[in-house]
Structure 1
Amino acid sequence: MIDPQLLKKQRILMITFIAIVVLTMIVSIGFGYSSVSYSRILPTLLGQGEFKDEFVLFELRLPRMLITLLAGMALAVSGSVLQSITRNDLADPGIIGINSGAGAAVAVFFLYAPLEADSFAYMIPAVAFAGALITAVLIYLFAYEKSTGLQPIRLILVGVGFSMALSGLMVVLISSTDRQKVDFIASWLAGSVWGTDWPFVWAMVPWLLVLIPFVLFSAQKLNILSLSEPVAIGVGVGVNKDRIILMLAAVALAAAAVSVTGGIAFVGLMAPHIAKSLVGPRNQLFIPLAMLIGGWLLLVADTIGRNIVEPGGVPAGVIVAIIGAPYFVWLLLKK
């Protein structure tokens, strides 16, 4: 039974963060190399804007903001699931190597597939998922011990090792290709939001529509899996089966996100922690809040990054890392 006061607090926080996200989007529209005057935003949304305003808003700003918002949400949910099933507060799809696995698959696909990346936007998440899944399976096998189960500390160490190895693989891959493709992979590694057109939005939406409700529906299982292994087994949960299914969901969400945003780390680490500090550790309470916080964090990072240096800007992944790396070190020392 959840305390009604806690439920009320969660709903108030959800409404607050929805308002903050909307306000951030409005502010973001009016900033940047190409922007829309604040007085023209509402008329443009109602179809009464000039051609320039409509082009900037509907072709440049809105798809990019929706991509960062959806990707941040997906990474936050992915990080929440990974932290619960591994019982490790430092778990994050970027830190433990899942994002790097997705990136390596996207890089190979981009380099050797006969078409340009824009032509198969809908295939990119599936390719990223395949790479992330192979990486996650290998990490899981190396971190698992038959006698004691999954080892949380070993998971982090193995994941960091895989992340470094796969980043090195991408450097090797780009050393023998043409300049245009090198620039793309370098931008991906830095976390530059590259999939900023509507097809990439539509490519991500089905993954989130299926996987996020599934995770929320499985919140009680996540609560049990976050307890010790004997307790989880004692209450009748199929630990290995449920853990693998939920890990697949986390991997798919992370892959769908980074396939269009590049190597973004720390969002899946920070958002769940912030949400837990506000409403406690129950997954059904903090995951919806973490989802909004993650989307907002990446939206803010992208808005700041593209306005620091015009017109190219600083990759959102770099801005997030500037905030997230010290936070990760602080958590590591604290734990």
Structure 2
Amino acid sequence: MNIYFLCKRYYTNKDLINDCFGRLYHLPKQLSEQGHIVFVDAFDYRNRTALAVKENEVSFQTIPLRPASLLKTIRQVYLHVKTINPDVIVASGDIYIGLIGLLLARRLRIKFVYDVYDYYPAFRINRFPGLTSLFNYTVRKSSLVTCASESLQRWVKSRLNQHTLLIQNGVDRNVFTVGDRVEARRKLNLALDTEVVGYFGSINPARGPILIEACRLLIEAKPNLRLAFAGRVEGIDFNDTWIKYYGELPQSSVPDLINACDVVVVPYAGDQFNSMSGACKIAEYLACGKPVVATRVSDHAEVFKESPASLCEPVAEDMARVLKSQLEHPEIVPYPSNFDWQSIGQTLNNKLTKLVT
């Protein structure tokens, strides 16, 4: 089977090509390992030069994109897709990418799969009038909609399209593994006699402030508490001396951050976007064998159903309570094998095979 992916190069603040990150890298890789011929075109908003690489028998090509040349670029993509002659098109990453993928599939009279890994209308760039309607239209007309969380899948199924498949965010077990805490702290210059709580991802008004306030509530009783952050910061400030910010780091550096911590956190507020998100962090945390504290949003209650001590309401007071409990009496959820990309890729492969035959 020839499979064509259309997506974007930069997503969740990572680079598809250089970081080999996430579903847009690993799903094509897994399908290639199942014997399919896989091509990936990735729109690139940041660079003016196209890049073509072959990784694990998958052909990745970046497409520089500027608003002034959008129609010309779409035509180039169409001509490229015609030469590939795919059996199915998979589009992922944004509303306009999904619409382009749908139109290409209709033109070629083949099946179209829309990979909705987040609720795209909630993206800041998609808040212009009419874009939510375009998103709904593309979802309705898709042959199959893949969703990164059960909550998002339920929403799609109940409102727009019955043909859905749960494709969660997995983890690369070659990168994220249980590591030596002492060695990790040495690398990061973190004292061994401190209690370290960490969060490593986008830090913004919906993902971070609850955790900062929860730690403030604990710091008097736990003066050796430290909060470790890494990731892109937008819209919030923090300058407390007990917060250690490591900046934006490559994916390869994140396991050391996790392994240096006593407890790691998914500090998501209870807004619409977070309520349907599939956090990449959870699989990474569990692969490193760490106690987790997660707010009770999206699918977190299901993931931690065997460890209710990991869950808190999305308010600082309750997070402080659960953080204290996990620091003093840690509960660790065993890593579930269904977070392996091999397992996720097999699920997608089985569905695509049925879809096109």
Question: Larger strand proportion, structure 1 or 2?
Answer: 2
Which one has the largest radius of gyration?
Answer: 2
Q: TM (normalized to structure 2)?
A: 0.22
Q: Which has the higher contact order (CA 8 A, sep 6+)?
A: 1
Question: Larger helix proportion, structure 1 or 2?
Answer: 1
